[in-house]
A and B are shown apart, each in its own frame.
Chain A
């Protein structure tokens, strides 16, 4: 009998948890005019550790989830996340992708790209773009710092979830605990 493969569900659920926690943090720091964006971290595990099909499903669902909550044209995050995911997928064989340090580096770079891409798409709406860039730079700095702190925990969480499900993230084969 064919075994159900829950890898995409595990990663999407973990992403949903992270997105919720980020929203919660943003709620509390709203008064200080600080904002965390951790989009890059949502792609990292799916792009580095999962097999291409399962990883892409998780990334696409995460993109749709993020798009539903953000006031951007629906599909913006879907396309940007897919672009980053597939770029990482293209080059991942050449790097030590199992390592946590490499995961953090990928998350930081992916987040940097996503943040800048979103800023270019959205900053035109403001009355003083120069002033808006100052705030965006501040938010980017805080977001990158947050990723640096959160990424090891989040990658380990997804690894641990795969272990609990007794499934190998890349091959999908059952593994003994």
Chain B
């Protein structure tokens, strides 16, 4: 039987033992535990997204034939536009290849497009992430860029067997090299301004002094291609204001991001075809 004084302190002795045990636990065991606990919960996370898909399917079944015919006409118009864009794209790709060979410059990174459904959105003041319904079973790799019709969504940070975690461009943990459209000078972009009931915003730093932006005359911000993760020219957002930084050498400002980032249901993962070893 322990004396009463020890009995009172027992919870804190237990806490000390837990802390010590955790500190000295090998990293491999921790990594294995994390993966195991994630995979245990993954079916739950994915199940509700399948149920949502089923709901959408049955909701779409309720549409009338007239509505479907109208939608079919719109899709036919879109297909015609995309076919034309595809032809132009093929011609431009051939031109890029010709110039690369002529000028002996290294070729642009090539990607395989992997569409994936969004299973879970997790947007807090601490992080901004989403879980998608494809993982290593579809060859998704850590660091792969994720895009949607409006531009950059984020970057893959964790890959599990059937799911992957995407760190969004709205997240304070994501930084990337960007440029103002039509300019080649790199600037630094970071997410993280996400006030409640407001559109997501990010920040830019190291903007050259001769670049100006106001809410009425915003500047289009795109990926620079530097760093080799994101291909160049993908939309990030609009720079809405710029002010000189504290050192006076550059400007800093805010970027208005796409409002649709909060409601995405489908994204595309760009998987590098020739990843650097």
Contact = CB atoms under 8 A, between A and B. Distances in A.
Nearest to B12: A86
A135 B195 contact: yes
A71 interface: yes
A108 to B, nearest CB: 19
Contacts of B18: 60, 78-79, 82
Given A125-B172, A125-B173, A128-B203, A90 B196 contact: no
Given A67-B37, A74-B34, A125-B172, A33 B122 contact: no
A127 B14 CA distance: 38
Contacts of B190: 127
B73 interface: no
B37 A68 contact: yes
Contacts of B126: 118-119, 122-123, 136
B183 to A, nearest CB: 22
B272 interface: no
Chain B, interface size category, equals: 35 or more
Interface string B165-176: 101000011000
Interface in B34-53: 34-38, 40-41, 44-45, 48
A41 to B, nearest CB: 17
A24 B120 CA distance: 7
Most chain A CB within 10 A, of B18, B126, B173, B197, is at: B126
B269 to A, nearest CB: 18
Given A131-B193, A131-B195, A74 B33 contact: yes
A69 B122 CA distance: 10
B22 A78 contact: yes
Given A33-B197, A90-B8, A127 B173 contact: no
Contact of B196 (A67, A74, A89, A138): A138
Nearest to B199: A33
Given A70-B127, A136-B125, 7 more contacts: A27-B48, A27-B122, A60-B18, A71-B129, A74-B31, A126-B172, A131-B193
Interface of A: 16, 19-20, 23-24, 26-27, 30-35, 37, 52, 56, 60, 64-65, 67-71, 74-75, 78-79, 82-83, 86-87, 89-90, 118-119, 122-123, 125-128, 131-132, 134-136, 138-139
